[in-house]
Chains A and B, each alone.
Chain A
């Protein structure tokens, strides 16, 4: 079954620590996305990548970093510069350059501060 796998499901961050959230897809999609979800605010785009070795900042990229070394993988690092990291993080993928195609989502990672 094709899909998107996010891990871990729950993650805790200590003060000053960087943490990395994993996102893997086997849908053969070129485009991948990271969103942050806070109650009552919908989903906000952090970073997106349309092709391997290329990525772009979204609306709230400060305090986050990404890499795209493989088509299947798009990890997100929450750095110590992100002062309010507590949120639900969702990874998605879609067919490149097709705005009429839906994005497919993973089951999310919930990040909390210790």
Chain B
């Protein structure tokens, strides 16, 4: 069975500083990886996804994540954060394979707080 661990429940950081939100997963088959962002009292929005190909994926708002198969990790990074990046971030895994229906397994979430 697949599982996802987000290693930090809360990450405080100052504006314009770099940030890394860590995500590790376990699975016995090939996986697809996602990062979602959730603003207060809203649903989840897709931030970026890794399906295949280049192990570095980028979002339109400056976030990037790198798939590391040997370390089973998919850490999210941003070189310079803004106040508006304050939100909760979820890492999620979907297993490939013929019997998969697309079930997503989520990590526990990381609350990113950007201070001025």
Contacts and interface: CB of A to CB of B under 8 A. Distances in A.
A50 to B, nearest CB: 6
A72 to B, nearest CB: 17
Interface residues of A, number: 29
Task: Provide the main secondary structure of the chain A interface.
Answer: loop
Interface in B21-60: 32, 34, 36, 41-46, 49, 51
A85 B76 CA distance: 32
B90 A108 contact: no
Given A42-B90, A99-B95, A100-B32, A105 B108 contact: no
B107 A97 contact: no
Most buried by A among B90, B97, B104, B107: B104
Contacts of B34: 102
Contact of A90 (B43, B51, B103): B43
Interface string B94-116: 11110011111011110000000
The list of the 8 closest CB pairs from A to B, nearest first, reads A105-B43, A42-B106, A99-B94, A99-B100, A99-B102, A105-B44, A42-B108, A43-B106
10 contacts: A40-B9, A42-B106, A96-B101, A97-B101, A99-B94, A105-B36, A105-B44, A106-B43, A108-B41, A110-B41
Interface of A: 4, 6, 9, 31, 40-43, 45, 48, 50, 90, 92, 94-108, 110
